[in-house]
Structure 1
Amino acid sequence: MQELELYEPTNTRKVFAEIIIPLALPINYTWLVPQHMLPIIKVGCRVEVNLGKNKRYAGIVKQLHQEAPEFFEAKEVLNILDVQPVVYPQQLLLWEWMSAYYMCTQGEVMAAALPAHFKLSSESVLVFNEEAGEDFTELDNEEYLVAEALLIRKELKLPEVQLILDSSHVYPVINRLIQKRICYVWEALKETYTPKKEDYILLSTEYSSEAALELLLNEDKRLQRAEKQMELLLAYLHFQKTEGEITKSALLKKSGATDAQLKGLIEKGILVAERRVVDRIKRGAKNIEINFSLSEAQTTAFEEIKTSLTEKPICLLHGVTSSGKTEIYIRLIEDYIRSGKQVLYMLPEIALTSQTIRRLQKHFGGHIGVYHSRFSQNERIEIWNKVKDGELKIVLGARSALFLPFGNLGLIICDEEHDTSYKQMEPAPRYHARDTAIYMSSLYEDCKVLLGSATPSLESYYNASKEKYGLVKLMQRYGNVEMPVLEMIDTRRLKPKDPNAAILSEPLCNAIQASMDAAKQVILFQNRRGYTPYQRCNVCGWIPQCKHCDVSLTFHKFYNKLVCHYCGTSYAPMQTCAACGSHDFVQRQFGTERIEEVLQEIFPLAKTARMDMDSVRGKNAHDQLIQSFEQLNIDILVGTQMVVKGLDFGNVDLVGILDADGILSFADFRVNERAFQLMEQVSGRAGRKHGKGKVLVQTSQPKHPVLMQVQQHDYDALYNDEIAKREQFFYPPFSRIIKLTFKNKIREVVQDAAQIFTGALSNRYKDHITGPAEPVINRLRNQYLMEILLKLPRNAKALEQCKKDILYQIAVLHQEPRYKSVTVIPDVDGI
């Protein structure tokens, strides 16, 4: 582990600091380090700096040097906020690489990487001007109230001024007070993290001996007259003996006593309340207990992985669904943490973490921490510090867990490595967590990466086939359970009288009933949430669309609203056609909400539930729903992609894919690959423990090549077909892609800007440019869009030069007044 040293200048020249602040600055700014700070400033620490006129920021020291800025006079660092660094050198190197590779700034990476409480907020503070005196007779009523408070307090923050005036609109009053020189404003950095504290109840040291305690209980008249206090004391002594130390809240809850009774014992000096800092996230004992054996196939794969990782830093585990990849991961984790290393276990979806964490906690207890966006900022900062200190050996998390400050990282497991959720879309950095993890591993000594999937991405499988990665195959399901049978339901042949039958066909309904009769569970997959994806006027064909985006509105029956799934704007339901005035609307397609309603109509006795972004909004909602399904409290679970990825349910014997045509119809060169992955993954939820599962696929094109490959569970056939097409049309893995998106409120401006930009790049990249063209959705949030696609050779120097040319052309474009407001977003490895 690289140490972070204090800065020791070799001479008396001035010392400067390159500091990253959470702003999109193209290069990092430089500040002067005052002499008195030199003994304590460290790389990786946060410092308080001033930028511009008054704005203050908490930045991270990236580098200390003695080269004075050439074109400006450096301002001084104002304050050092940390005694010890909050990030290690590896994190700073990772930020630098991400900034260069994904064409963003280091400030944007920092903003994404650090918990919010490390990015201190700049907060306006009013300071009383002592020269103003105490004569406020010329002030109006509101000004007088604030001035009086300032005279007494000397400083006021904006929220305090709002309370004094009982109004959120205080800026005019403040401006008048500043103009009258009653006060002035300065920017203060506000530390927002507050440790959680709880009161622990202890027995007074006076009664620590058995003799003193016996005397207290038998002869103390104060207690004999207070029966309830005696009962509470006896309850405390019982809990102390059985559970050890106990908190005040737990004692009162378990004993049924009141706060007043406890207060009486504390006032008598019998019990003592001690306030302590406690963890927000409770964890068990730090034990390692592996109580299972690997099957013969798993053992072979496990040994092959270990051998591969001694020869290559990256290994791809291609294991079919329900082959027991998680057990192999657990055995590998055991090896690494017993050797003192840390392990990062990445999953693409937060929904997967709850089930996986329960499985890992059985074996590793308190060694494990979880890190994802559903945690509060206070919880995230506590995990951050425990990872940095080496207290947490295993971290389970989504893509943001990459940014944690690992000191001794030995293994990164990227499960479901093919998943598109690993790619960050908005905002910058637009990174791919799998690829970033691979680079990140190179920053640590002897750190390895294991990629795992039943349906690997073509890029990873190609790298493995070219022996850049190791490749281990596990083609046998655990316990020799057979792969599920896929049957196609040709929707063209169905002529249902009942409109519900277009959603759940008769063969699928019969299969659901058979599963419930056998006390089995069912999963139904539809990759659209809401009730109706769009509705159309039956007279003129008008479709309600979002005012801010070029997309149709989805009807959500539960909220009785039309919702745009891109900008989030909601509208009242349409009763009258805006084009022709007709009231005759027809609903097209169906979402998870509609499916749930149909299920309740057809199977009124079945317990149904829905898993999508609308139904699992709370912090623990995913986990509660998954546990309820595991405990057989739900018969039929309908959901979006959340139900597809890696979940393990032993009692599911039927999976229904309700609209395969929708999955196969995206305008994307990866459409066949992603359709296969999605359908193979969801089919893998069936028949995982007992018997042979069944998957029913509703489609109007049952002979589609991808459906035939899914039916045979033939990944190799898909790979061979797709890799040949990728090579023919020069798509990844044979090229590198950079997608440029242009945004502006005026359509003609964004179209002209994209044309000019394309012309400027054509001199050097004529053979590699596609576009400009409007995307399928050409307006989002009132911004018109244009796109350019660059397909570049897999050459590091060519890619680096192209990025420089793009950034240069963006700067040139923004010199033109007409195009200054055009936003240009580069997305490396996009689409």
Structure 2
Amino acid sequence: MMFADVILPLALPRNYTYSIPPHMEHNVHVGSRVAVQLGKNKKYAAIVKNIHTQAPQAYKTKPIIDILDKEPVVYPTQLKFWEWIAQYYMCTEGEVLNAALPAHLKLSSETVLLYNDSIEHDFSLLDDDEYMIAEALNIRKELRIDEVQLILDKSEVYSVIKRLLEKRVLIIYEELREAYREKKENYVQLQPEFESEERLAPLFDELSRAPKQLELLLAYLHLVKTQGAVIQSELLKKSGASAAQLKGLVEKGILWIEKRTVDRVPLGTIESTIDFDLSPAQEKALTEVHACFTQKPVTLLHGVTSSGKTQVYVKLIEEAVQAGKQVLYLLPEIALTAQIIRRLKKHFAGKIGIYHSRFSNNERVEIWNKVKTGEILIVLGARSSLLLPFKDLGLVILDEEHDPSYKQQDPAPRYHARDAAIYYASIFKAKVLLGSATPSLESYYNATQGKFGLVKLMERFGGIEMPAIEVADLKKEHALKTMQGNFSSQLTEAIQATLDSGKQVILFQNRRGYAPFLLCTTCGWIPQCLQCDVSLTYHRQHDKLHCHYCGTRYPYIHTCAACGSQTLIPKSFGTEKIEDDLQQMFPSARIARMDVDSVRTKDSHNKMIQLLEEKEIDILVGTQMVVKGLDFENVTLVGILSADSILSFPDFRVNERAFQLMEQVSGRAGRRDGVGRVIIQANNTKHPVLQFVAAHDYDGMYAAEIDERERFAYPPFVRVLKITLKHKQESTVNQAAQVLGSWLKPHLGAQLVGPAAPIVNKLRNYYLQEMLIKLPRDMKKIAQAKNLLREYFIQLTAEKAFRAVLIVPDVDTV
């Protein structure tokens, strides 16, 4: 008897074993999807992880119901990778499968209602709701739950279904349905007999009495000449004709229509063209990267902003592609990197595929399959593209490797794409290049300790100087009363001078909305979210108060809930307020805002970038979106409006993150002519990080920070694991945290910090408690600690009082 261990798309603590029916033995493969039953009647599409002859001792196996694929959907390399993610990041393989597979490859059964025609029914005994469903079933013979909801025009339909089930009007079964559908298009073609000019010419005379049909035929001939194949929808749009007029030409035997399967993600046929030469500094960096790769699988490329790292990447990609290998180019946020997408498409148009969350489910299935077959050689994507089924991966590039967006927050698996990519590449014996102008302390430490190779590219492309950085003292400006709203005189004058010279400005403010909070000037009350322990942000565009944690929107509050006065005023400022102020200060300037609220649609970010490139925007105001991957030749001034808010966040990485953010923003200025200028507004002008930013001194910042991290035992000297407990009752979660902490303390001692409530101690109606565990950089001890935690998590939730407590482990938390 053959058995298969399968991964179900559920957060189950272990995988289950199913028996393979004899007639399926030769068709079930590792990596294939199979239909299996879990429980009494629920069916799922599971992935086969292992095939063997050992029956489980603890339970009787159920047989596999069906095989869903002729070919496996993943390779053994991906299954090995999934297992590592689950073990290292303390989640389940089912959660990894859920994150990896496109939705249309993850099937679960759907409840289908069937009309029971084996007995006679008296519909007069049914109430109105029951009668409507019974009548529809009698006509249709089967209905799905969503169809029942539409018929009754309500979501709660299960009680009605239950009553009809008891009255034996219907029966229920579970159906496993394939969600992916090939895309079909109607292609219009000329009948072969009219392909010669002699036979085609008389048609024009024949159709002179049917001008619309003649116009349609001429449009068809034009499209055939210009693009080869003619799609029916395009033809009707171009000719302005109707489907009936096209049908007339088909009935006359002039045209015919063929339905074909088409790609949702066409790759094109353009060959790669590398039409640039590297500078001497870039050539030197490329040579050093090659040398490092001969000794170490991972290399860090530390290149200052505008040093031309992307061109080095392109050369490495070209070499990998010529060797027949696949390449993964990771970016922190795909929606923010339209420029890099355009550049890579220019060089590798026919070989590159893009993968991110804004694609439809059907598009993702097609990209998945093309990566698996090797049809796509280069994948450009966000962290989720790391989970694609590569066939023969040769190179992984992580651009902006320091970016915290590479860490998945919710839901599980909470993996870090940088660390996971290094492990994944090791399975293929592939090389990994980490690139950044401001590397993470962990990566730079690994490079200086010899674990990674280190290559420096410390001059801007074309010998352009780094931008001059000035710090505007807000305390002094306020004292002299030279502030204009939230702008220092220094920044106001610089903006005016930049606009006068025909150049562009980028202004950075790391808060969106109009005002971060409202304040009652009588009693000091601040409106807060009912579901989260945070103040509400005022968005003037919608005239509503938004919670930036749970997304709830509230109407604007005019009356104080505490004292009843009507003295509520907006305090502090966000990007909306800055945009509003600029329009009053510089009325003739063309101003745009780039934040989550203004670029919600699929292409809105790309369009705004193009407007800036085409000099249709004079001043761009934005949040962190303006930091990442942008290159504008006409931007000469960058303003950072509130450095203090970046420098005062309570986190051990605050100085590192603040330096990275300000250095990256400043790198947007003067990228072509070297006359960039950066003005940083701050109250605490003596902050050491500002001194490092002003001098573009990464090494100075690194030396200061690494000394602090070692003294207080923080990464990279330890591994930090955060445990968050959640419950809707504050007393329950507090008690659960104390119990878990008391169990862990004897084993972990000083390595355990907490438990304690975080700064935001309530999110989405759940109260929170957190504890940090600082583990030594010893994989054996880390594994032991994780096993201990898993045991205690099971013990805690086994207790009746804590059964509903959610426990969220976050390994290598950022």
**Given the two structures, how large is their TM-score scaled by the length of structure 1?**
0.96
What is the SS of the residue equivalent to 1:131?
Answer: coil
Q: State the match for 1:6 in structure 2.
A: none
User: Which amino acid counterpart does residue 68 of structure 2 have in structure 1?
Assistant: L
Tell me how far apart the structure 1 counterparts of residues 228 and 192 of structure 2 sit (CA, whole Å): 16
Q: State the match for 1:9 in structure 2.
A: none
Aligned CA distance change for structure 1 residues 570 and 497 (closer, same or farther; 3 Å): farther
Tell me how far apart the structure 2 counterparts of residues 241 and 724 of structure 1 sit (CA, whole Å): 69
Q: State the match for 1:408 in structure 2.
A: 392
* 1:1-55 deviation digits (Å, cap 9, x = unpaired): xxxxxxxxxxxxx211111111110101121221221121111111111111222
From 717, 720, 724, the equivalent of 2:703 is 720
Identity within the alignment, %: 58
Trace 1:359-758 onto structure 2 (pairs within 5 A): 359-444=343-428, 446-495=429-478, 501-758=484-741
Q: State the match for 2:337 in structure 1.
A: 353
Q: Structure 1 residue 730: deviation in Å?
A: 1.1
Q: Structure 1 residue 793: deviation in Å?
A: 0.7
Q: Structure 1 residue 216: deviation in Å?
A: 4.1
User: Which amino acid counterpart does residue 195 of structure 2 have in structure 1?
Assistant: S
- Indicate the larger mover: 555-564 or 238-247: 238-247
Say if 1:134 and 1:151, in contact at 8 Å, map to a contact too: no
Q: Structure 1 residue 592: deviation in Å?
A: 0.4
From 70, 73, 83, the equivalent of 2:57 is 70
Q: State the match for 1:826 in structure 2.
A: 809
Q: Structure 1 residue 210: deviation in Å?
A: 4.1
* 1:274-294 deviation digits (Å, cap 9, x = unpaired): 122222234432311011111
Say if 2:272 and 2:350, in contact at 8 Å, map to a contact too: no
Q: State the match for 1:804 in structure 2.
A: 787
Say if 1:735 and 1:794, in contact at 8 Å, map to a contact too: yes
Q: Quick check: 1:259 aligned with 2:243?
A: yes
Tell me how far apart the structure 2 counterparts of residues 51 and 748 of structure 1 sit (CA, whole Å): 36
* 1:389-445 deviation digits (Å, cap 9, x = unpaired): 11111111110010111101111000000000001111111110111100100111x
Aligned CA distance change for structure 1 residues 577 and 511 (closer, same or farther; 3 Å): same
* 1:233-281 deviation digits (Å, cap 9, x = unpaired): 2332232123211212222233333333322111111111112222223
Aligned CA distance change for structure 1 residues 496 and 179 (closer, same or farther; 3 Å): farther
Q: Structure 1 residue 472: deviation in Å?
A: 0.5
Say if 2:337 and 2:629, in contact at 8 Å, map to a contact too: no
Tell me how far apart the structure 1 counterparts of residues 483 and 258 of structure 2 sit (CA, whole Å): 63
Q: Structure 1 residue 380: deviation in Å?
A: 1.3
- Indicate the larger mover: 338-347 or 52-61: 52-61
Say if 1:706 and 1:718, in contact at 8 Å, map to a contact too: yes
What is the SS of the residue equivalent to 2:349?
Answer: helix
Say if 1:500 and 1:598, in contact at 8 Å, map to a contact too: no
Tell me how far apart the structure 1 counterparts of residues 570 and 121 of structure 2 sit (CA, whole Å): 70
Tell me how far apart the structure 2 counterparts of residues 486 and 624 of structure 1 sit (CA, whole Å): 30
Q: Structure 1 residue 331: deviation in Å?
A: 0.9
User: Which amino acid counterpart does residue 397 of structure 2 have in structure 1?
Assistant: I
**Given the two structures, how large is their TM-score scaled by the length of structure 2?**
0.97
Q: State the match for 1:768 in structure 2.
A: 751
Tell me how far apart the structure 2 counterparts of residues 141 and 239 of structure 1 sit (CA, whole Å): 56
* 1:764-788 deviation digits (Å, cap 9, x = unpaired): 1102111111111111111111111
Say if 1:595 and 1:638, in contact at 8 Å, map to a contact too: yes
Q: State the match for 1:242 in structure 2.
A: 226
Q: Structure 1 residue 135: deviation in Å?
A: 5.0
Q: Quick check: 1:317 aligned with 2:301?
A: yes
Q: Structure 1 residue 376: deviation in Å?
A: 1.5
Say if 1:779 and 1:785, in contact at 8 Å, map to a contact too: yes
Q: Structure 1 residue 602: deviation in Å?
A: 0.4
* 1:290-339 deviation digits (Å, cap 9, x = unpaired): 11111110111111111211221111000000000001111111111111
Tell me how far apart the structure 1 counterparts of residues 154 and 412 of structure 2 sit (CA, whole Å): 36
* 1:622-660 deviation digits (Å, cap 9, x = unpaired): 111111111111110000000001211111000000000
Tell me how far apart the structure 1 counterparts of residues 522 and 381 of structure 2 sit (CA, whole Å): 51
Q: Structure 1 residue 89: deviation in Å?
A: 1.1
Q: State the match for 1:41 in structure 2.
A: 28
Tell me how far apart the structure 2 counterparts of residues 364 and 600 of structure 1 sit (CA, whole Å): 42
Say if 1:496 and 1:502, in contact at 8 Å, map to a contact too: no
Q: Quick check: 1:202 aligned with 2:189?
A: yes
Q: Structure 1 residue 228: deviation in Å?
A: 2.8
Tell me how far apart the structure 1 counterparts of residues 798 and 227 of structure 2 sit (CA, whole Å): 70
Tell me how far apart the structure 1 counterparts of residues 215 and 596 of structure 2 sit (CA, whole Å): 49
Q: Which runs of 5+ in 1 are unaligned?
A: 1-13
Q: Structure 1 residue 166: deviation in Å?
A: 4.8
What is the SS of the residue equivalent to 2:187?
Answer: strand
From 98, 108, 111, the equivalent of 1:124 is 111
Tell me how far apart the structure 2 counterparts of residues 351 and 700 of structure 1 sit (CA, whole Å): 34
Aligned CA distance change for structure 1 residues 536 and 143 (closer, same or farther; 3 Å): closer
Tell me how far apart the structure 1 counterparts of residues 130 and 335 of structure 2 sit (CA, whole Å): 52
* 1:357-403 deviation digits (Å, cap 9, x = unpaired): 11111111121111111111122111111111111111111100101
What is the SS of the residue equivalent to 1:565?
Answer: coil
From 180, 183, 191, the equivalent of 2:170 is 183
Trace 1:329-348 onto structure 2 (pairs within 5 A): 329-348=313-332
User: Which amino acid counterpart does residue 477 of structure 1 have in structure 2?
Assistant: R
RMSD: 1.7
What is the SS of the residue equivalent to 2:577?
Answer: helix
Trace 1:139-218 onto structure 2 (pairs within 5 A): 139-217=126-204
User: Which amino acid counterpart does residue 542 of structure 2 have in structure 1?
Assistant: Y
Say if 2:506 and 2:637, in contact at 8 Å, map to a contact too: yes
Q: Structure 1 residue 500: deviation in Å?
A: 7.4
Q: Quick check: 1:99 aligned with 2:82?
A: no
Tell me how far apart the structure 1 counterparts of residues 158 and 610 of structure 2 sit (CA, whole Å): 50
Tell me how far apart the structure 1 counterparts of residues 483 and 537 of structure 2 sit (CA, whole Å): 19
User: Which amino acid counterpart does residue 162 of structure 2 have in structure 1?
Assistant: N
Say if 1:652 and 1:685, in contact at 8 Å, map to a contact too: yes
Q: State the match for 2:272 in structure 1.
A: 288
* 1:96-142 deviation digits (Å, cap 9, x = unpaired): 00000000001111111111111124311012334323554543454
User: Which amino acid counterpart does residue 795 of structure 2 have in structure 1?
Assistant: V
Say if 2:538 and 2:570, in contact at 8 Å, map to a contact too: no
Say if 1:94 and 1:440, in contact at 8 Å, map to a contact too: yes
Q: State the match for 1:227 in structure 2.
A: 211
Tell me how far apart the structure 2 counterparts of residues 526 and 149 of structure 1 sit (CA, whole Å): 57
From 94, 103, 112, the equivalent of 2:99 is 112
Say if 1:16 and 1:32, in contact at 8 Å, map to a contact too: yes
Number of equivalenced pairs: 814
Q: Structure 1 residue 588: deviation in Å?
A: 2.0
